[in-house]
C-alpha cells in the first residue's frame, strides 16, 4: 500500500492522477453497456444479426463473469501493473474487433473479448485502490468512484446516440479503443510494478473455479442457441440443456472448495441463498428491456437513437435516485425495503412490458423509472443480508457473489430474450405489424422470474 501521500484530498497533485486513472478504468465498463444498447439497432441494420441480438449482451456479461473470477489470480501471477495493462489491452482488442466486424458473429466474438477485458479491468481497479491510496482515503475513493456509474447513465446514451445518428456506430468502439490505450499507458506509468496487488488476500490458497465457469458458459450458450435453430425440438432441447447447465453449476459449486459462489448460494433456507436468487431472478427478468427496448422505441416511435438511449437510461436514473434516498436506512428496517423494492420491480416490469410496445415515450420512460426505482430501493439491503449471513471466512466471496449473481442473471436473461424474440417473429428486426401483439409477449415472458424474485425477497425480508 502506498502511504507517501498524506493529504486528505483526492484532488491533491499527487493523488489526482491516480484517481483519474481509476475513474477511466471504471468508466470503460460502466459506459459500455449503455453505449452499446443505444447503437445496437444501427449495428443490426448495417451488418445483420437481429437473430443474435441478445447474444451481444450475453457474450459481454459472460466474459465479465469469467474475467472477474480470474482477475485476482492474474494479479498475483503477473503483478498488479502488468495484469491491469494486459486486461486493458484485451479490452481494446475486443473493441477493435467489434468496430471492424463485417458480420454479426465477429461482432459477438468482439463483445465477448470486451467483456473479458472490462470485467478484469474493473476488478483490478478496485484492487488498485488499496495500492494507490492511503487507507484513510479508501472510503472516500470508493464513494467517489461510485459516481462514475451515475455519470455513465447520463453520458452513455449521449455518446451512443450521437454516433448512431451520424451513421457511424463503429466510431463508438474506436473511441473506446483510444480510451483503453490511454488507460494502458497510464497504468504502466502510475501503478507499482511489485506483485502485492492482493496483499493480505487468501485467494492464493484456492484455484480458479474452472468447472463452474465452464458449466455457466455452457448454460448461457445453450440458452442463446435455442433461439437461432430452425427445429422447435432442437430449440426446446437446447433451452432445457441451458437450465440443466445452470443447475449443474450450482451443484458443482456446493461440492468443491474452489467456489464461484458461497456454498449456501443454492440453499433457499438461508438468507444468502434467498438474496442471490432475488438478485439473479430480478436481473434476468428485466435485462430484456435493455437489450430490445431501444430497438422497439426506435421502430415503433420513429425515435432517434439518442432519444431511445435516454428513455432506456431512465432505468438507471430511477435506480440511482432511490438508492441515494434510502442509503442511510438502519439495518433493523431494511427488511421492509427488501420487500418493497422487489414489489416495485415486479410492478415496473409489468408496466414496462405493456408500455414498450404500446405506450408513448413518456409512458415508457415512467415505467422504466419505476423499474429502476425498485432496484434502488432494495439492492443494497438484499446484498447486506446475503453477505452478513455467511461465515466470516466466506464474506469476501459473498461480497463478490452479489455482482456475480447479477451478471449471471443478465447473461441468462439476455440469451433467453434473444431466443424468445426469434420465436415471436423478431429475428429480422422489429416488425411493426407484430409489435403491438407479440411485443408484450416478449417482455411479459419474463414476469414469472420477477414473481420468483419477489417471493424470495418476501421471505428474505422477514428474517
Q: What is the DSSP string of 175-200?
A: HHHHHHHHHHHHHHHHS--SS-TTTT
**Listed residues 255, 290, 314: the one ending a domain:** 255
**Listed residues 206, 223, 241: the one ending a domain:** 206
Q: Residue 203's pLDDT is what? A: 42
Do 43 and 174 share a domain, yes or no?
yes
Query: Are the CB atoms for 245 and 212 separated by under 8 Å?
Result: no
Q: How far is 422 from 442, CA to CA, in rounded Å? A: 10
**Listed residues 221, 255, 289: the one ending a domain:** 255
- The C-alpha cell at 391 is 461465515
Residues of the chain with pLDDT under 50: 1-7, 196-205
- For 384, counting Cβ atoms within 10 Å of its Cβ (0-12 exposed, 13-18 middle, 19+ buried), the class is middle
Do 124 and 223 share a domain, yes or no?
no
Closest to 41 in 3D by CA, of 312, 330, 358, 402: 312
Q: Residue 9's pLDDT is what? A: 56
Task: Supply the CATH number for residue 172's domain.
Answer: 1.20.1250.20
Do 143 and 202 share a domain, yes or no?
yes
Do 222 and 271 share a domain, yes or no?
no
Do 237 and 296 share a domain, yes or no?
no
- The verdict on residue 338 lying in a domain is yes
Do 64 and 41 share a domain, yes or no?
yes
Q: Greatest CA separation found in the chain?
A: 66
- The C-alpha cell at 246 is 445452470
- The C-alpha cell at 149 is 456509474
- The verdict on residue 165 lying in a domain is yes
Do 242 and 185 share a domain, yes or no?
no
Q: Residue 180's pLDDT is what? A: 95
Q: In degrees rounded to 5, what are phi and psi of residue 424?
A: -85, 5
Strand partners, 427: 429
Do 422 and 318 share a domain, yes or no?
yes
- The verdict on residue 261 lying in a domain is no
Q: Residue 7's pLDDT is what? A: 47
Q: How many residues does the chain have?
A: 463
Closest to 118 in 3D by CA, of 87, 86, 163, 154: 87
Q: How far is 220 from 424, CA to CA, in rounded Å? A: 20
- The verdict on residue 337 lying in a domain is yes
- The C-alpha cell at 36 is 452499446
- The verdict on residue 295 lying in a domain is yes
- The verdict on residue 2 lying in a domain is no
- The verdict on residue 1 lying in a domain is no
Do 104 and 127 share a domain, yes or no?
yes
Planar angle of CA 244, 401, 260, nearest 5 degrees: 55
Q: Checking phi first, is residue 430 left (phi over 0); if not, alpha (psi -120 to 50) or beta?
A: beta
Q: Residue 2's pLDDT is what? A: 45
Closest to 277 in 3D by CA, of 369, 389, 417, 353: 389
Write out pLDDT tens, residues 298-340. Answer: 999 999 888 988 898 888 888 888 888 887 777 677 888 999 9
Q: Residue 12's pLDDT is what? A: 61
Q: Residue 201's pLDDT is what? A: 42
Do 190 and 88 share a domain, yes or no?
yes
Do 326 and 248 share a domain, yes or no?
no
Number of domains in the chain: 3
Q: Residue 109's pLDDT is what? A: 94
- For 320, counting Cβ atoms within 10 Å of its Cβ (0-12 exposed, 13-18 middle, 19+ buried), the class is buried
**Which residues constitute the domain of residue 116?**
8-206
**What's the gap between Cα 456 and its chain centre?**
21
* C-alpha pair distances (Å), 160 with each of 36, 51, 111, 294, 457: 7, 21, 16, 11, 35
- The verdict on residue 260 lying in a domain is no
Do 247 and 307 share a domain, yes or no?
no
Q: In degrees rounded to 5, what are phi and psi of residue 429?
A: 125, 180
Task: Locate all alpha helices (DSSP H) within 80-137, ordered by sequence.
Answer: 80-100, 104-132
Amino acid at each position: 500500500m502506498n502511504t507517501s501521500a498524506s493529504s486528505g484530498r483526492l484532488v491533491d497533485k499527487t493523488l489526482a492522477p491516480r484517481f483519474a486513472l481509476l475513474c477511466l478504468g471504471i468508466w470503460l465498463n460502466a459506459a459500455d453497456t449503455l453505449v452499446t444498447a443505444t447503437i445496437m439497432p444501427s449495428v443490426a441494420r448495417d451488418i445483420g444479426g437481429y437473430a443474435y441480438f441478445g447474444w451481444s449482451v450475453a457474450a459481454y456479461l459472460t466474459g465479465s463473469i469469467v474475467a472477474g473470477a480470474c482477475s485476482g489470480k492474474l494479479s498475483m501471477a503477473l503483478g498488479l501493473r502488468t495484469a491491469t495493462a494486459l486486461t486493458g489491452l484485451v479490452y481494446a482488442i475486443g473493441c477493435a474487433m467489434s468496430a471492424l466486424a463485417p458480420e454479426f458473429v465477429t461482432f459477438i466474438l468482439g463483445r465477448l473479448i470486451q467483456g473479458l477485458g472490462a470485467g478484469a479491468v474493473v476488478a483490478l481497479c478496485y484492487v488498485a485502490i488499496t495500492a494507490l491510496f492511503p487507507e484513510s482515503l479508501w472510503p472516500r475513493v470508493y464513494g467517489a468512484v461510485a459516481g462514475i456509474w451515475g455519470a455513465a447513465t447520463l453520458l452513455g446514451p449521449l455518446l451512443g446516440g450521437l454516433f448512431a445518428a451520424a451513421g457511424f456506430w463503429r466510431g463508438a468502439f474506436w473511441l473506446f479503443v483510444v480510451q483503453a490505450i490511454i488507460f494502458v499507458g497510464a497504468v504502466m506509468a502510475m501503478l507499482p510494478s511489485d506483485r502485492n496487488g492482493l496483499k493480505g488476500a487468501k485467494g492464493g490458497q484456492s484455484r480458479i473455479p474452472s468447472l463452474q465457469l465452464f458449466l455457466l458458459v455452457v448454460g448461457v450458450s445453450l440458452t442463446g442457441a435455442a433461439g437461432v435453430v430452425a427445429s422447435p425440438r432442437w430449440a426446446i432441447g437446447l433451452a432445457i440443456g441451458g437450465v440443466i447447465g445452470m443447475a449443474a453449476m450450482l451443484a458443482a459449486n456446493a461440492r468443491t472448495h474452489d467456489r464461484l459462489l458461497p456454498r449456501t448460494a443454492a440453499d433457499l433456507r438461508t438468507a444468502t441463498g434467498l438474496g442471490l436468487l432475488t438478485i439473479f431472478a430480478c436481473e434476468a427478468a428485466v435485462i430484456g428491456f435493455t437489450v430490445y427496448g431501444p430497438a422497439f422505441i426506435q421502430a415503433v416511435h420513429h425515435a432517434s437513437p439518442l432519444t431511445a438511449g435516454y428513455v432506456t437510461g431512465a432505468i438507471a436514473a430511477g435506480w440511482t435516485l432511490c438508492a441515494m434516498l434510502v442509503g442511510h436506512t438502519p439495518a433493523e428496517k431494511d427488511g421492509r425495503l427488501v420487500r418493497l423494492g422487489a414489489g416495485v420491480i415486479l410492478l415496473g416490469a409489468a408496466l414496462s412490458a405493456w408500455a414498450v410496445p404500446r405506450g408513448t415515450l413518456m409512458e415508457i420512460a415512467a415505467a422504466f423509472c419505476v423499474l429502476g426505482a425498485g432496484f434502488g430501493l432494495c439492492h443494497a439491503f438484499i446484498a447486506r443480508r446475503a453477505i452478513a449471513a455467511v461465515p466470516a471466512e466466506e464474506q469476501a466471496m459473498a461480497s463478490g457473489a452479489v455482482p456475480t449473481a447479477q451478471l449471471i442473471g443478465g447473461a441468462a436473461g439476455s440469451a433467453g430474450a434473444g431466443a424468445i424474440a426469434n420465436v415471436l417473429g423478431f429475428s429480422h428486426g422489429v416488425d411493426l405489424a407484430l409489435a403491438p401483439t407479440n411485443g408484450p409477449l416478449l417482455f411479459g415472458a419474463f414476469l414469472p422470474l420477477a414473481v420468483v424474485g419477489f417471493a424470495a425477497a418476501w421471505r428474505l425480508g422477514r428474517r
